[in-house]
Amino acid sequence: MDYSYPTPQEVGIRIAPHLRTDRFCAGFEHGLRGGQLHRVEYMRLSFREGYRASKLYLRELRRSRGILDFPARWKLRLNVA
């Protein structure tokens, strides 16, 4: 299935002049897709700022739709003696 994600400009996010636009947009899309920061190239400032902006955008989008928090995932470990 092919999804279309909004760009930072479409949702009203301004990119700071000291950041690289291509990396910022790549980080923004990566964050919207639910990706994690697990590669070295993801640690660059522009990518991280785009990733952070996407997470803040998603939080605000969920709040506007009435979704406050997702249920917590619990791990239960039992020992049988």
How far is residue 55's CA from residue 28's CA, in Å, rounded to a whole number?
8
Would residue 75 count as lying in a domain?
Answer: no
Work out how many domains the chain is built from and give that number: 1
Range of the domain at 62: 1-67
Would residue 77 count as lying in a domain?
Answer: no
- Percent of the chain predicted with pLDDT > 70: 98
pTM over 0.95: no
| Confidence at 68, pLDDT banded by 50, 70, 90 | confident
Q: 74 or 62: whose pLDDT is higher?
A: 62
Would residue 44 count as lying in a domain?
Answer: yes
How far is residue 39's CA from residue 46's CA, in Å, rounded to a whole number?
14
Q: Give pLDDT, residue 1.
A: 67
**pLDDT of residue 16 exceeding 90:** yes
